[in-house]
Amino acid sequence: MKTDTLLDAVVVGGGPAGLAAGTHLSRAGRSALLLERGSLGGQARGLERIENYPGFPGGISGARLMELWLRQAERWGLAVRAGEVVSLARGADGVFTVRLKKGRAVRSRSVLWCAGAGFLKLGVPGERRLLGKGVWNTYDEAPSCAGKSVAVIGSGEAAVQQAAILARKAKTVYLITRTPALKAHNLLLERLAGSGVVRLPGFRVSKIVGGKKLEAVELKPAAGRGQTKKIKTDALFTLIGKEPPGVPAAWLSKPAGFFEAGDCCSGRFRQVAVAGGDGIRAAMRCMIYLEDL
């Protein structure tokens, strides 16, 4: 597809929401271009096993599921390009200019923003410097932790699931939480209970220590009183809640022709099937918009 022509739709993000949206638009005969700054398949690609995606009684790996979605997108001719979208603007004629970090801008009648949501940062000393050097703000580094001492911080499903998965191969896994309560469903809690994960409730990370790579994590009592604790660890996964990236546009309100789908707008309902369905709904809305133009 020529990207210097006016497109019907630009889809930003190649996770489940973006792939579903783009496939739907292409199958309907719309000229759609999907732009992805990282790995196609988004967060879902890194999931070791998805057990709650309908249609796969034994579960399916995230990589395999996303490969199937991508094949379907290609089958219907969705154009896919690597690129990070850094700004969006909408002209008086209703045409969007989608600027990429590298390369030329793309022009389109509509934009589907499917950029997902990233994990929040802790905001403690050492975090920024050691990000990617033992400190992970994502969860798909688990395979590199075999035989190591690792720590997970967070009390939600992502943290609980990650701790239980890591415990299968890591030497020691610490789960650090501010409060004793975990916000995960029973199946995950049962897996955690039998996993050998060492729980450290009532602590917050106050400092991340290391030179060229992570060496230790300093913990302080979440309540404010008590002794500081230091644990040696090779990896720290900070899975403490998610925040969608801001839309890179100077709009006061979302304009006509701009649609959002998936984790970036689904609040607490962050699942592959939800993101895919949301992507399709956004594509359907977009098609009505394009027909009305």
Ligand X SMILES: Cc1cc2nc3c(=O)[nH]c(=O)nc-3n(C[C@H](O)[C@H](O)[C@H](O)COP(=O)(O)OP(=O)(O)OC[C@H]3O[C@@H](n4cnc5c(N)ncnc54)[C@H](O)[C@@H]3O)c2cc1C
Query: Residue from 10, 11, 33, 35 that binds ligand X (CB under 6 A)?
Result: 35
Nearest to 95 by CA among 11, 10, 155: 10
Q: Does position 36 bind ligand X by CB under 6 A?
A: yes
Residue range at the interface with ligand X (CB under 6 A); choices 24-32, 40-48, 175-183, 223-231: 40-48
CA 68 to CA 177: how far, in whole Å? 37
CA 240 to CA 131: how far, in whole Å? 15
Query: Residue from 5, 52, 179, 228 that binds ligand X (CB under 6 A)?
Result: 52
CA 262 to CA 265: how far, in whole Å? 6
Q: Does position 42 bind ligand X by CB under 6 A?
A: yes
Per the CB < 8 A criterion, the answer to whether 7 and 22 are in contact is no
Q: Does position 21 bind ligand X by CB under 6 A?
A: no
Rounded to a whole number, what is the distance in angstroms from the first to the last CA of the chain?
Answer: 22
What binding mask, one character per residue, do residues 256-275 give for ligand X by CB under 6 A, x or -?
Answer: ------xx------xxxx-x
Chain center to CA of 250 = 24
Task: Supply φ then ψ for residue 222, to 5 degrees.
Answer: -60, -30
Which CB atom, from 16 or from 134, has the smaller least distance to ligand X? 16
Q: Say which residues have a Cβ less than 8 Å from residue 171's Cβ, sequence separation at least 6.
A: 147, 148, 149
Nearest to 237 by CA among 119, 124, 146: 119
H helices of the chain, where? 16-27, 62-75, 127-130, 157-166, 186-193, 272-292
Q: Residue 62 CB, nearest distance to ligand X (Å)? A: 7
Residue range at the interface with ligand X (CB under 6 A); choices 6-14, 125-133, 176-184, 208-216: 6-14
Q: Residue 165 CB, nearest distance to ligand X (Å)? A: 9
What binding mask, one character per residue, do residues 193-232 give for ligand X by CB under 6 A, x or -?
Answer: ----------------------------------------
Which CB atom, from 104 or from 232, has the smaller least distance to ligand X? 104
Q: Residue 229 CB, nearest distance to ligand X (Å)? A: 25
Per the CB < 8 A criterion, the answer to whether 25 and 109 are in contact is no
Q: Does position 44 bind ligand X by CB under 6 A?
A: yes
What binding mask, one character per residue, do residues 128-167 give for ligand X by CB under 6 A, x or -?
Answer: -----------x------------------x--xx-----
Q: Does position 31 bind ligand X by CB under 6 A?
A: no
Task: Supply φ then ψ for residue 136, to 5 degrees.
Answer: -120, 130
66-125 positions binding ligand X, by CB under 6 A: 84-85, 114-116
Residues binding ligand X (CB under 6 A): 12-18, 35-38, 42-44, 47, 50, 52-53, 84-85, 114-116, 139, 158, 161-162, 245, 262-263, 270-273, 275
